[in-house]
A = this chain, B = another copy of it.
Amino acid sequence: MKILLTIAYDGTNYFGWQIQKGQITVQEEIERGLKALFGKAIEVRGASRTDSKVHALGQRATFSVETTIPMKGLPHALNNHLPKDIRIMRAEQVSANFHPQYSAKSKTYCYKIYNAPIINPIYNNYAWHVKPSLDISAMKSGALALVGEHNFLSFCATGSSAKTFVRNIYSIEIEKSNTGNGNGNENGHQLIEISVTGNGFLYNMVRIIAGTLAYVGYGKISATAMPKILAAQDRTKSGITAPPQGLTLMQVNYGFEYSHKT
């Protein structure tokens, strides 16, 4: 039987999802856990190859095994064999032809920016620290130009082997939360969260979008320049690649309802 896992992890101490020689990766830890649980080597296939230091709340991965463990109990059973910074949140049976990546209808990533002169250090591993004050309405206006079906070559890391650079971004939502600690301390929490949903993403695409929108936020790039940057199909026209620790894979949507509720 084929099983689909929903996985959350703190990516701080991992060299990303994908197994790589000489590096500790999330996929490797899960395969190690499955081997401990089922007593044999089992390969998992992930929905997204998150990079080093990138986090996930809703990563998905499949594997095949014959087992009598009920799906409801599988997360707990597997979590017992995993490090604390990787948690299986859910398990459910899927059909044999289900593919965690190709069956996905959309994915949602969230990019966090900590916008203040000095960062609250508990965000060091979970946000990008941007010191200049960001103009959220300019960022929202710039983001609007990216929504829809476009060639995103300008927002793809150079050297990508993608067959096509056309992707469809369904939405970009930008929210700012500002809850100072009352100490007259404006550095309480000034978190900007950029949520991007699309049918697929090129390599580093969300991080380049976040980096470019930060440039828009402090006026280095004009919001009105975004259509031209897209049209240029040239990576050098967009902004920097925002650092990995701000990124979280929030959700992979397969367009079906869960059969199991925990």
Contact A183 B124 (CB under 8 A): no
Given the complex, which residues of B lie within 8 Å of A181, measured CB to CB? 57-58, 108, 250-251
The contact of A183 among B121, B186, B251, by CB within 8 Å, is B251
Contact A89 B108 (CB under 8 A): no
Given the complex, which residues of B lie within 8 Å of A133, measured CB to CB? none
- Contact stretch, chosen from A15-23, A112-120, A159-167: A112-120
- Mask: chain A, 63-90; 1 = CB below 8 Å from B; 0 = not: 0000000000001000100001111111
Residue of A10, A89, A182 ringed by the most chain B CB atoms within 10 A: A89
In the complex, A162→B258 CA distance in Å? 55
The reply on A96 being an interface residue by CB < 8 A is: no
Across the two chains, which residue of chain B brings its CB closest to A57? Answer: B181
Q: With A124-B85, A181-B57, A182-B251 in contact, is A187–B8 under 8 Å at CB? A: yes
Given the complex, which residues of B lie within 8 Å of A6, measured CB to CB? 183, 185
Across the two chains, which residue of chain B brings its CB closest to A182? Answer: B251
The reply on A122 being an interface residue by CB < 8 A is: yes
Given the complex, which residues of B lie within 8 Å of A10, measured CB to CB? 121-122, 124
Q: Interface size (A, Cβ < 8 Å)?
A: 41
Given the complex, which residues of B lie within 8 Å of A118, measured CB to CB? 8, 75, 79, 87-89
Copies of this protein in the complex:
2
The reply on A262 being an interface residue by CB < 8 A is: yes
The contact of A90 among B126, B182, B185, B251, by CB within 8 Å, is B185
9 more contacts with CB within 8 A, not counting A57-B183, A89-B185, A184-B258, are A8-B120, A57-B185, A58-B183, A75-B118, A84-B121, A88-B118, A108-B181, A117-B262, A181-B250
- Sample 23 A-B pairs with CB under 8 A, ordered by A number: A8-B118, A8-B122, A8-B187, A10-B121, A55-B122, A57-B188, A58-B181, A58-B182, A58-B183, A58-B185, A75-B118, A85-B124, A86-B121, A87-B118, A87-B120, A90-B184, A90-B185, A108-B182, A117-B262, A181-B250, A182-B251, A183-B251, A185-B251
Q: Which A-B residue pairs are the 9 nearest by beta carbons?
A: A58-B183, A10-B121, A184-B258, A85-B121, A183-B251, A10-B122, A57-B181, A181-B250, A89-B187
- Footprint of B on A, CB under 8 Å? 6, 8-10, 55, 57-58, 75, 79, 84-90, 108, 117-122, 124, 126, 181-188, 250-253, 257-258, 261-262
